[in-house]
Amino acid sequence: MAVIGGSVEEITIRGRIFPVAADSDVTINLGGIQNEVQSNGDGSARKIQTRIPWSVSGLAVQIDHVADAQGFLQEVARTPEYVPVTIKLASGAVYMGQGTIVEELESGSEASTAEITLSGPYELTLQ
């Protein structure tokens, strides 16, 4: 069976769908555990596991200024709670989690997109 790569088709944030620019090279970190090995003086080592959040970066989402898409995203970033997030890939795979927008939120008028990074607790899960 062939492995399908390609564009992120769309993301949904708190129930609102955002198309993603086809040329976005998105990086997905499912979150969970990050391992580190620390040495002991006798040459043995300890495995240290640290919990890390999930994240999706490089998302150039369509911004409809008339529909106040940027205002909606700013509201999501300001709210203290995490919101439902889904990411649909070209392969048909869909990931889901609770998250928020991190980093600065700016949109470009020429391309009508904003590059966003999403992150949240626990892990993104394949649906």
Any domain includes 1: no
Domain count, the chain: 1
Any domain includes 2: no
89 close to 115: Cβ distance less than 8 angstroms: no
91 close to 63: Cβ distance less than 8 angstroms: no
Domain harbouring 114, CATH code: 2.40.30.200
Q: What is the mean pLDDT of residues 96-116?
A: 94
Any domain includes 47: yes
62 close to 114: Cβ distance less than 8 angstroms: no
Q: What is the mean pLDDT of residues 51-77?
A: 96
Range of the domain at 100: 8-126
| Confidence at 7, pLDDT banded by 50, 70, 90 | confident
Any domain includes 41: yes
pLDDT at 2: 83
| Confidence at 59, pLDDT banded by 50, 70, 90 | very high
